[in-house]
């Protein structure tokens, strides 16, 4: 559905996106992750035609976005809804009027607007607030209004730029659940930009890690977390603090196979003792993955390593 190849984007002479290539399929929930200034919002704006890119190709449904002219571009934008961190609601308009706005601009009839807005307010759980003003709503409720507004023109794609960054963790989860529901029930492709790893873990099927305009990771989300490479570890701020004597081995537990008994089995079968330095399990996209670091004596290394190889375990010596 979205096909980006060797895309370069400059502001003046500064390159802000460097050689970006990726594919997003219809129905995906895809995350663009990175620190502030990485180029996430710029990439999102290139996808909806709000920003020009100088080199490479960016196609949405086989249309090269930068060559779209007025009418086609307007129709294209209609097909792409967007939500933002600060909701962008009109304070002097009611919830109903805010949601109705895009349909008014596109000159839909009053009946069509009424039916659509009410069904969307129901979807986001705000029927009762239709006559309220944004100032009377919580952050989460405001984002729900913005989501309803983004869906009025029946987009195929919903772009979210830090839509949960101003919300507390519980509200964030409820908004992410709503986005998941929209993705599933309405088959809307969702691309979300975030600097929050928790958001990525909760919702994204695939993720792109962006740093200074470069792709430093692009994979199924579990894989990015399961065995993070050095760049990813740096991004996550994860440093393995380990004993400086003996040998430290990190064992990774892939999704749905947390292998909890591996360590005790290995100890029994090899008739050895190890120190468990630390371990953790995390839920990513409803899958449990994890890792554990053990510390062994130098002379145990060969036996332990061949055991892990035989059992097809993912591991590394730190």
Ligand X SMILES: Nc1ncnc2c1ncn2[C@@H]1O[C@H](COP(=O)(O)OP(=O)(O)O)[C@@H](O)[C@H]1O
Position closest to Mg ion via CB: 41
> In terms of CB distance, is 30 or 253 closer to ligand X?
30
> In terms of CB distance, is 37 or 243 closer to Mg ion?
37
> In terms of CB distance, is 41 or 143 closer to Mg ion?
41
Closest distance to ligand X from the beta carbon of 193 (Å):
6
Closest distance to ligand X from the beta carbon of 141 (Å):
25
> Of these partners, Mg ion, ligand X, none, which one is at the site of residue 221 (CB under 5 to 8 Å by kind)?
none
> In terms of CB distance, is 41 or 221 closer to Mg ion?
41
> Of these partners, ligand X, Mg ion, none, which one is at the site of residue 11 (CB under 5 to 8 Å by kind)?
ligand X
> Of these partners, Mg ion, ligand X, none, which one is at the site of residue 106 (CB under 5 to 8 Å by kind)?
none
- Which positions touch ligand X (CB under 6 A)? 11, 16, 34, 36-42
Closest distance to ligand X from the beta carbon of 37 (Å):
4
- Which positions touch Mg ion (CB under 5 A)? 41
Secondary structure, 3-state, the chain? CEEEEEEEEEECCEEEEEEEEEEECCCCEEEEECCCCCCHHHHHHHHCCCCCCCEEEEEECCEEHHHCCHHHHHHHHHCEEEEECCCCCCCCCCHHHHHHHHHHHCCCCHHHHHHHHHHHHHHCCCHHHCCCCHHHCCHHHHHHHHHHHHHCCCCCEEEEECCCCCCCHHHHHHHHHHHHHHHHHHCCEEEEEECCHHHHHHHCCEEEEEECCEEEEEEEHHHHHHCCCHHHHHHHCCCCCCCCCCEEEEEEECCCCCCCCHHHHHHHHHCCCCEEEEEEEEEECCEEEEEEEEEECHHHHHHHHHHHHHCCCEEEEC
> Of these partners, ligand X, Mg ion, none, which one is at the site of residue 37 (CB under 5 to 8 Å by kind)?
ligand X
> In terms of CB distance, is 9 or 116 closer to ligand X?
9
Closest distance to ligand X from the beta carbon of 151 (Å):
23
> Of these partners, ligand X, Mg ion, none, which one is at the site of residue 134 (CB under 5 to 8 Å by kind)?
none
> In terms of CB distance, is 195 or 227 closer to ligand X?
195
> Of these partners, ligand X, Mg ion, none, which one is at the site of residue 216 (CB under 5 to 8 Å by kind)?
none
């Amino acid at each position: 559905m979205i096909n980006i190849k060797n895309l370069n984007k400059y502001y003046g002479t500064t390159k802000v996106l460097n050689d970006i290539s990726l594919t997003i399929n219809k129905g995906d929930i895809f995350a663009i992750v990175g620190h502030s200034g990485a180029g996430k919002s710029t990439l999102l704006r290139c996808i909806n035609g709000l920003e020009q890119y100088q080199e490479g190709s960016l196609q949405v449904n086989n249309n090269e976005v930068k060559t779209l002219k007025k009418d086609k571009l307007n129709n294209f934008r209609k097909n792409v809804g967007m939500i933002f961190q600060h909701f962008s609601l009109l304070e002097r308009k009611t919830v109903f009027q805010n949601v109705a706005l895009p349909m008014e601009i596109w000159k839909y009839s009053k009946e069509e607007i009424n039916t659509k807005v009410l069904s969307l307010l129901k979807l986001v759980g705000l029927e009762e607030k239709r006559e309220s003003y944004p100032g009377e709503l919580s952050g989460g409720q405001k984002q729900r209004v913005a989501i309803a507004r983004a869906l009025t023109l029946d987009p195929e794609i919903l772009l979210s730029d830090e839509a949960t960054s101003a919300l507390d963790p519980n509200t964030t989860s409820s908004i992410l659940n709503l986005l998941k529901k929209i993705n599933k029930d309405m088959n809307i492709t969702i691309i979300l930009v975030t600097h929050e790893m928790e958001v990525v873990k909760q919702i994204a099927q695939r993720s792109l890690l962006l740093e200074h305009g470069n792709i430093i990771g692009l994979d199924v989300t579990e894989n990015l977390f399961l065995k993070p490479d050095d760049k990813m570890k740096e991004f996550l701020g994860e440093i393995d603090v380990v004993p400086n004597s003996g040998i430290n081995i990190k064992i990774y537990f892939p999704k749905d196979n947390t292998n909890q008994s591996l360590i005790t089995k290995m100890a029994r079968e090899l008739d050895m003792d190890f120190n468990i330095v630390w371990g953790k399990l995390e839920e990513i996209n409803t899958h449990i993955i994890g890792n554990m670091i053990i510390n062994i004596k130098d002379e145990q290394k060969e036996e332990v390593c061949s055991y892990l190889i035989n059992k097809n375990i993912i591991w590394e010596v730190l």
